[in-house]
Amino acid sequence: MEEIRFNKLYNLDKERLYANFERIQNLHNNLDSTEIITNFLLNQSIGISTSEISDILNYYQKKLSKNKMLLDFAFEWIRAYKIRLEYKKYFNLNSYGAYTVALDDTIFLFFLKYDKYLRPLFEEDMEEYEFATLYQIFFNSKQSNPINLVPLLKKNKDSVPTIIINGERINTKIHTIREGLSGMIKDDFNEGLPTDVKIISYEQEEENDTTSEIEFNGTMIERLIKFYCFQKRNIDEKELTLAITQFLSSYFQFGAFYNFNEFKDELILSFADYIFSGLTDDYKNYSVISLQNELTYVIEEFEKRLKHERLKGKAWIEDLKPILRKFIDNFINRL
Amino acid sequence: MMAKGSEFLLGLFYSDENTLVYDNIKLAHNLSKKALQDLRSISFKFFGPLFMTTAMYKRKDWKIDYIETTLTPQMDESVEETLLQSFTCLNSSIKIAGSMTNLFTFIGSPYTEDLTLIYKKLNEFIHPCIVQGKLIGQNIYGIEFDYNVFIDHEIKRGTDLIEHSLGSPRKMYWEEKKAYSTIAVIKRTKIDGILTSDLYTFDIDDPLRKETLNHIPSYYFMAILPDYYEKRMNETLRLFGKKGLYPNIIKIKVSNPELEVIYMEEFITSANEKTCYGLILIPHNDIINESRDLFFYKKKLREILDKNKDFERVIVEFNSRINPFGNWNLNSDSALQSIEKLLDNEL
CA gap B26, B24 in Å, rounded: 7
* Amino acid occupying residue B21: V
Task: Tell which of B140, B165, B190 closes a domain.
Answer: B165
In a domain, B278, yes or no: yes
What would the pLDDT profile of B148-182 be if each residue is shown by its tens digit? 889 989 999 999 999 888 876 665 555 567 899 99
Select from B128, B144, B165 the last residue of a domain.
B165
Residue spans of chain A under pLDDT 50: 200-213
B151 with B189, same domain: the answer is no
Q: Check CB contact under 8 Å for B125 and A112.
A: yes
Percent of chain A with pLDDT over 90: 32
Tell me how close the Cα of A329 comes to any Cα of chain B, in angstroms.
31
Residue A175 dihedral angles phi and psi, to the nearest 5°: -60, -45
- Rounded to a whole number of angstroms, the distance from the CA of B132 to the nearest CA of chain A is 5
Question: For A193-245, how does the pLDDT look when each residue is reduced to its tens digit (9 = 90+)?
Answer: 655 555 544 333 333 333 344 678 887 788 888 878 877 777 878 778 888 88
Cβ–Cβ < 8 Å for A132, A160 = yes
Contact: B135, A170; criterion CB under 8 Å? yes
User: Is A127 buried (19+), middle (13-18) or exposed (0-12) by CB count in 10 A?
Assistant: middle
Asked whether residue B212 is assigned to any structural domain, the reply reads: yes
- Chain B nearest CA to A118, separation (Å): 18
* B1, part of any domain: no
The phi and psi torsions of B230 (rounded to 5 degrees) equal: -65, -40
Give yes or no: residues B264 and B332 share one domain.
yes
Instruction: Give the per-residue pLDDT at B22.
Output: 77
Query: Is B4 part of any domain?
Result: no
- Shortest distance between the Cα of B159 and any Cα of chain A, in A, equals 9
Closest-CA distance of chain A to residue B113, Å? 17
Report d(CA A122, CA B244) in Å as an integer. Answer: 58
Instruction: Please report the pLDDT score of residue B142 as a whole number.
Output: 86
The answer to whether the beta carbons of residues B179 and B304 sit under 8 Å apart is no
pLDDT, residue B233, reads: 84
Contact A175 B129 (CB under 8 A): yes
Count CB-CB contacts under 10 A for residue B290: 14
Say yes or no: B154 and B196 in one domain.
Answer: no
Which of B125, B139, B140 has the CB atom closest to A108's CB atom? B125
Same domain assignment for residues B182 and B327: yes
Residue of A nearest to B142 (CA): A255
Residue to mutate among B1, B132, B139, with most A CBs inside 10 A, is B132
Query: Which of A94, A108, A176 is best to mutate for the B interface (most B CBs within 10 A)?
Result: A108
**Which residues of chain B are under the pLDDT cut of 50?**
1-5, 51, 54-56, 58, 77-80
Based on the fold, state whether residues B266 and B130 are members of the same structural domain: no
My answer on whether B148 and B218 are in the same domain is no
Q: For the residues of A233-288, what is the DSSP string, one character each? A: -PPPHHHHHHHHHHHHHTTSPTT-EEEHHHHHHHHHHHHHHHHHHH--GGGTTS-H
Q: Is B140 on the interface with A (CB under 8 A)?
A: yes
**Claim to verify: residue B206 and residue B158 sit in the same structural domain:** no
- Taking CB atoms and an 8 Å cut-off, how many pairs form between chains A and B? 59
With CB atoms and an 8 Å threshold, state whether B125 touches A173: no
In a domain, B151, yes or no: yes
Measured CA to CA, the distance from residue A119 to residue A234 in angstroms comes to 63
Identify whether residues B42 and B138 lie together within a single domain.
Answer: yes
For residue A190, which amino acid is it?
A: N
Residues A221, A328: contact at Cβ < 8 Å?
Answer: yes
d(CA A272, CA A254): 24
Q: Under an 8 A CB cutoff, do B160 and A161 touch?
A: no
- Number of domains present in the structure of chain B: 2
The domain in which residue B282 lies consists of 176-343
Residues of chain B above pLDDT 90, percent: 32
Distance CA B87, CA B70 (A): 6
Judge whether B188 and B197 are in contact, CB under 8 Å.
yes
Contact B160 A96 (CB under 8 A): no
C-alpha distances in Å from residue B56, one per residue of A47, A272, B50, B96, B221: 58, 68, 10, 19, 10
Q: What is the C-alpha separation between B281 and B180, in angstroms, rounded? A: 6
pLDDT at A290: 85
Q: How far apart are CA B315 and CA B322, in angstroms?
A: 7
> If you ran DSSP here, which 8-state letter would residue A138 be given?
H
Q: Which pLDDT belongs to residue A88?
A: 86
Q: How far is B141 from chain A (nearest CA, A)?
A: 7
In whole angstroms, give the CA distance from residue B218 to residue A100: 42
In a domain, B293, yes or no: yes
- Note the helical H segments in chain A: 2-9, 14-27, 33-43, 50-61, 70-93, 99-106, 112-118, 128-138, 149-159, 173-191, 219-231, 237-249, 260-278, 288-304, 313-334
CATH number at residue B57: 3.30.450
Residue A132: the pLDDT is 96
B301 occurs within a structural domain:
yes
Residue B100 β-bridge partners? B95
Are residue B126 and residue B217 in the same domain, yes or no?
Answer: no
Nearest CA in chain A to B129: A174
The rounded distance, in Å, linking the Cα atoms of B173 and A324 is 64
Sign of the alpha-carbon torsion through B303, B308, B313, B316: positive
Cβ under 8 Å to A: B residues 113-132: 120-121, 124-126, 128-129, 132
Taking CA–CA distances from B161, the nearest residue in chain A reads A101
H/E segment holding residue B273: strand B273-283
**Residues B61 and B94 reside in one and the same domain:** yes
Same-domain status, B201 and B307: yes
How far apart CA B13 and CA B3 sit, in angstroms, is 24
Q: Are residues B239 and B152 in the same domain?
A: no
Last residue of a domain, one of B104, B138, B165: B165
Q: Is residue B38 part of a domain?
A: yes
Q: Who among A104, A161, A314 is closest to B125 (CB)?
A: A104
Which candidate in B2, B140, B159 is best for mutational testing of the A interface (most A CBs within 10 A)? B140
